[in-house]
Every structure is written in structure tokens, then in C-alpha cells.
């Protein structure tokens, strides 16, 4: 059997980047903190673009602990949503334009989130990557790590549990 | 003597990120603090419902816990978060102010233990709770 020709790179990139952009740019709070995402294949890295309004301790100065928690949580939810939707983005079932408007596309909800503050967040950009420990049908467990200058020197890490969107087709 | 509450309010409200969120210190003293955050469309986490993002709720809880530690009679000065766990019970009602109340229920020379609750205008049905440990720093 002949293998189908792979899609042209620009088609693949456009589809994935448009879907990711819709997922991230559609959320006002992510824009407020100015968090963006770098994508390599299906791997995402959250970037917290530094701004003075993120400061929580003006004397040090250091990034606000709440901002660090929010950055980890945003990275966890976006990564989990991305992995959850990726097969349907690839198949064309989910269109980038529909991600924030189609009410049938639902997102994981945070149940709990724990942050471990390892060192103070310096007044510069920060990066975060999430690892899905387990994504079940109802619940997911996600670990996130965040760093600044050196990936091996994390300034915070977190673990969260999430309620996965339930398929409601059987109820309608 | 200058009112400690006034000083604490000025201190909290001078934090750049607290200003960005519009945080207001309502009460403080003896290891207890109350902070409010008005509804703000910039903090929406789900544009389809207008519900505030959990991250903004984490920030008001973290700030309120830190304020409670600093207001404890046994705390000499500043503090930093060591660990914070947030449980999200329900979505905050869109349009409503969120209020956090924190209590520093135990403090040693080095560590402060804090619990906090975040509510919208229905104070009987919390939006989120937090529990954490904080450093105790000298003056």
C-alpha cells in the first residue's frame, strides 16, 4: 500500500500555530500577564515576558509569588488543553477560529494547584514547561517547572489536578 | 503614633502587581488580613463566561497570606512564600468583587503557617481556599 504524501510544512505549521494562537490569545488574563508560548512540534514552552507591573517585592526586586503561581497554572492548563485537542486539531475536526467561540469546545478546570517557591523570581523573562503525569478521562495530574537563566536552576515548580472536559453528546 | 493599618495599607497598595490588580487592603492586624479585588475584564480566564482566571485568585490569596504574616505580632519584618496550595471550589460569579481573608495561625522564629479563603459576594460559598507556609524574615 502506498504511503500518503506528507503534508507541506507550511500547511502543518500554519494549522498548529493558528490553533495555539487562538488558545492563548483568546484569554484576556494571559494577555494581561503577557505570557506567550514557543512550540516545537507538540512541545510547548511558556514565556512570561517581564514587565515592571509583575513585581511583588519592589525592594529586591522580585516577581510576585501570585504571578509565578499564575504562570505555572497557565502553562499547565494550556499544555493540557493542547495535548487534549492536538489529535482533533491535526485531523481538522477543530478549527482555530472555533476554539474560543464554539461552546462545545471545553477546557480542563483546575481542581487544585500547589506551588513550591525555590528561589525569588528575578526581574527578567521566565520560562515554564508542563509534564502530564496522567491524563485520564475525568482527571489529570500535571507537573510544571519554571526557570530563568539556567534550566537546571528552577525558581518554582508546581503540581496541579484538573477536571477534564466531559463529553456531553449523550445528554443533548 | 502612626496607625499600623494605614502603613500596612500603603505598603500593600504600593506593590506594583497589587496595583495592577487593583487590590485593596480592607483589614489587617494580629495575624489576620482581608484584601479585596474588584472585577476587571483584563483578568478574565474564560471569555465565553467572563469568569475570572484562577491565577488572579491565586495572587490575591498569596498577597493576603503574606499580609497576614507581616501583621502577626511575632513577625519582625518581611516574608516570602515557601509553599502555597490552592483548592478551587467553584467559578467566581462574573461582575463581583473577590475578597480574600487570611489567618496566620502559627508562627515560629523561621516559619509562618497560613490559611486563607477567597469569596465573591456570596460569603457563605467560598470560591477557593489556600494553605501555605511562609518565611519569617528579620527587619
pLDDT band of B134, cuts 50, 70, 90: very high
Residues of chain A with pLDDT under 50: 170-172
Q: Do B17 and A53 touch (CB under 8 A)?
A: yes
Write the CATH number for B63. 3.10.129.10
* B1 has pLDDT over 50: no
pLDDT band of B76, cuts 50, 70, 90: confident
In a domain, A144, yes or no: yes
pLDDT band of B39, cuts 50, 70, 90: very high
Q: Do B17 and A64 touch (CB under 8 A)?
A: yes
The answer for residues whose C-beta is within 8 angstroms of residue B139's C-beta and 6 or more apart is B76, B77
Print the domain residue range for B130. 4-135
Q: Where are the alpha helices (DSSP H) in B14-138?
A: 16-21, 54-70
Nearest to B41 among A28, A70, A74 (CB): A28
Print the domain residue range for A41. 9-163
Domain count of the fold of chain B:
1
Q: Is A123 on the interface with B (CB under 8 A)?
A: no
From residue B16, alpha-carbon distances to A52, A63, B12 in Å are: 7, 10, 9
From residue B63, alpha-carbon distances to A23, A67, A99, A143, B72 in Å are: 28, 10, 33, 23, 15
Q: Do A57 and B54 touch (CB under 8 A)?
A: no
Q: Is A52 on the interface with B (CB under 8 A)?
A: yes
Write the CATH number for A14. 3.10.129.10
Q: Is B47 on the interface with A (CB under 8 A)?
A: yes
Instruction: Indicate yes or no: pTM above 0.90.
Output: yes
- Residues A142/A80, Cβ–Cβ less than 8 Å: yes
Determine the distance in angstroms separating the CA of A149 from the nearest CA of chain B, rounded to an integer: 21
Q: Is A74 on the interface with B (CB under 8 A)?
A: yes
More confident residue, B100 or A86: B100
Give the Cβ contact number of residue B106 at 10 Å.
Answer: 14
Q: How many CB pairs under 8 A join A and B?
A: 126
In a domain, A172, yes or no: no
In a domain, A47, yes or no: yes
Give the Cβ contact number of residue A140 at 10 Å.
Answer: 21
Three-state secondary-structure class, residue A25 = helix
In a domain, A4, yes or no: no
Determine the distance in angstroms separating the CA of B73 from the nearest CA of chain A, rounded to an integer: 21
Please provide the average confidence, as pLDDT, over all residues in chain B.
93
B31 backbone φψ class: left, alpha, beta (φ>0; ψ -120 to 50): left
pLDDT at A171: 44
Domain count of the fold of chain A:
1
pLDDT at B57: 97
Phi/psi at B39 (nearest 5 deg)? -60, 135
Amino acid at each position: 500500500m502506498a504511503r500518503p504524501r506528507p503534508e507541506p510544512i507550511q500547511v502543518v505549521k500554519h494549522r498548529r500555530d493558528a490553533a495555539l494562537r487562538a488558545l492563548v490569545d483568546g484569554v484576556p488574563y494571559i494577555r494581561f500577564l503577557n505570557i506567550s508560548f514557543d512550540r516545537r512540534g507538540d512541545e510547548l514552552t511558556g514565556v512570561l515576558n517581564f514587565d515592571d507591573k509583575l513585581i511583588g517585592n519592589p525592594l529586591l526586586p522580585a516577581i510576585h509569588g501570585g504571578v509565578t503561581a499564575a504562570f505555572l497554572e497557565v502553562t499547565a492548563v494550556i499544555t493540557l488543553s493542547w495535548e487534549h485537542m492536538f489529535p482533533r486539531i491535526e485531523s481538522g475536526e477543530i478549527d482555530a477560529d472555533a476554539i474560543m467561540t464554539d461552546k462545545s469546545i471545553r477546557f480542563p478546570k483546575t481542581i487544585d494547584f500547589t506551588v513550591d517557591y525555590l528561589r525569588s523570581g528575578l526581574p527578567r523573562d521566565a520560562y515554564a514547561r508542563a509534564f502530564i503525569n496522567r491524563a485520564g478521562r475525568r482527571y489529570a495530574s500535571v507537573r510544571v517547572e519554571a526557570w530563568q537563566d539556567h534550566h537546571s536552576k528552577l525558581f518554582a515548580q508546581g503540581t496541579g489536578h484538573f477536571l477534564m472536559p466531559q463529553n456531553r453528546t449523550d445528554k443533548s | 503614633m502612626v496607625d499600623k493599618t494605614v502603613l500596612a495599607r500603603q505598603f500593600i497598595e504600593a506593590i506594583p502587581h497589587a496595583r495592577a490588580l487593583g487590590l485593596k487592603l480592607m483589614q489587617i492586624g494580629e495575624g489576620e488580613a482581608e484584601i479585596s479585588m474588584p472585577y476587571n475584564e483584563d483578568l478574565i480566564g474564560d471569555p465565553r463566561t467572563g469568569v475570572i482566571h484562577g491565577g488572579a485568585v491565586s495572587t490575591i490569596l498569596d498577597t493576603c497570606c503574606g499580609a497576614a504574616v507581616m501583621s502577626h505580632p511575632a513577625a519582625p519584618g518581611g516574608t516570602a512564600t515557601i509553599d502555597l496550595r490552592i483548592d478551587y471550589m467553584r467559578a467566581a460569579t462574573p461582575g463581583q468583587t473577590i475578597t480574600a481573608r487570611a489567618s496566620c495561625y502559627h508562627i515560629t522564629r523561621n516559619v509562618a503557617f497560613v490559611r486563607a479563603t477567597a469569596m465573591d459576594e456570596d460569603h457563605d460559598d467560598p470560591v477557593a481556599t489556600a494553605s501555605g507556609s511562609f518565611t519569617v524574615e528579620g527587619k
